[in-house]
Structure formats: C-alpha cells, structure tokens
Amino acid sequence: MKLPKTTKRLCPYCKKHTTHTIKNQTFKGLNKTHTMSRGSKPRVKARGLRRGTGNLGRFSKKAMGSWKRYGKKQTKKTDLRYTCKECGKTHMQKKGTRTKRVEFT
C-alpha cells in the first residue's frame, strides 16, 4: 500500500482542514503497551514474586493461539496516526485496511 507523507485532513482540534503528516504505528510489544499485564516483569516485581522457584506467577503453557490455532493471517491492519502541522496533535484513523506493508512516497 502506497501512501503520501502528507495530506490535507480535517483536524478535530482546530476544526478545519490542515496539512497532516502520516505515520504507521508499529506494535511495540506487550511489555510496553500493557505494562501491568499478567506475567509482565513490573507486575511480577510489584507482587513481590521475584524470589524462589517456579515460573513467578506466569502461565505454565503459552497462549492457545500460538500452538493450537493455525491459519494465521498473512496481513496486518494499518494503524495510521495523523499529526496536525498547526497544533501538533495526533489523531487516529477510523478503520484499518489489511496490507502486507505500508510505503510512504
């Protein structure tokens, strides 16, 4: 999917059409997006489970999707972020479309 680097869009904060820069957000990993999710390092530390034997409050088996479910999807949905050049605020797209990769030209 080829996209331009900048477009004119409606800014919900300025309430008028301004130029926006487009960026595709990438998944940063569970430890960054959900810092206190089950089995994450900060949560284990907060619960005081760093000592002793065992798997420190994590699940003994991996998530079911990783070993039981096949037919994995080949593409990912885009997660575009539009940054207004006038106010500098960022807002997201309404709906993602499936593509293998996003190219900015």
The nearer residue to Zn ion, 11 or 22, going by C-beta atoms, is: 11
Closest separation in Å from C-beta 89 to Zn ion: 6
Asked if 102 and 1 count as a contact pair (C-beta separation under 8 A), the reply is yes
Q: What tokens does 17 get?
A: 């059409």
Q: Residue 19: beta bridge partners? A: 8
- Measured between alpha carbons, how far is 1 from 22 in angstroms, rounded to an integer? 13
Q: Measured between alpha carbons, how far apart are the two ends of the chain, in Å?
A: 10
Closest separation in Å from C-beta 86 to Zn ion: 5
Closest separation in Å from C-beta 24 to Zn ion: 20
The nearer residue to Zn ion, 22 or 84, going by C-beta atoms, is: 84
The residue ranges that bind Zn ion (CB under 5 A) are 11, 13-14, 84, 86-87
